[in-house]
Amino acid sequence: MPHTPEEIENLKHAPAVPGVEDLFLRRWSPRAFADKDVSDDDLKKIFEAARWAASSYNEQPWRFFLGRRGDATYQKIFDVLVEFNQGWAKSAPVLIFSVASNKFAQSGSPNQYSIHDTGAATGYLSLQATALGMHTHSMAGFDHSKARKTFNVSADYDVGAVTALGYLGDPTTLHDQLRAQELSPRQRKSLSEIVLADWDKPAL
């Protein structure tokens, strides 16, 4: 069983695929984070990556509330998490809450792709964190209504997700089920299941 961060990273590394950048294969979502702060310089790099994600009509609908451990924003984000997620997310030095503008700024018409685009920006954010030796873990398990009220999110914005960010920690700090997940190889569906020419007809 792996014990060191290096051994865990090797276990979680996806199988090599010729032509696929190693960065994508190294990204995964731990629940154990180290007691180590993330520098403002690295946070700027991470959000700079998110800033350059593609979006419909270049609307850039995403907004990220950034909480650093010990500050008021962090506590507000933490307080909206469900108890299960609070149990492990408390080790993360950074918590991020995303929302998405659901109207186009120029026309005021509905933007049906804002959550999609905000998810893409979060993906860029996560990959940049991986490039810097960190990890992210995004969560749906939080009280959306409470989050909207806590952050005064208007009806013009849809609630996205909460993302924990930090350096890989010790999986023995997790309870048995989560520890087992942390120390198990990752799995994914095959391309034949997700890339289709028609329903139940693989394209690759």
CATH number for the domain that contains residue 170:
3.40.109.10
pLDDT of residue 5: 86
pLDDT tens, residue by residue, 18-65: 999 999 999 999 999 999 999 999 999 999 999 999 999 999 999 999
Token duo for residue 64? 């990220």
CA angle 26, 27, 32 (to 5 degrees): 110
pLDDT of residue 171: 94
pTM of the entire predicted model: 0.96
| Cα distance between residue 125 and residue 45, in whole Å | 9
The β-bridge partners of 136 are 165
Number of domains in the chain: 1
pLDDT of residue 1: 64
pLDDT of residue 16: 94
Strand order in the sheet with 94-101: 62-68, 94-101, 157-166, 135-139
Beta carbons of 10 and 2 less than 8 angstroms apart: yes
pLDDT of residue 120: 98
Token duo for residue 164? 């924990």
| Cα distance between residue 114 and residue 103, in whole Å | 8
Beta carbons of 100 and 157 less than 8 angstroms apart: yes
Q: Is 166 left (phi over 0), alpha (psi -120 to 50) or beta?
A: left
Low-confidence ranges of the chain (pLDDT < 50): none
Using the structure block, give the residue that is written with the tokens 């700079």: 48
Range of the domain at 126: 5-202
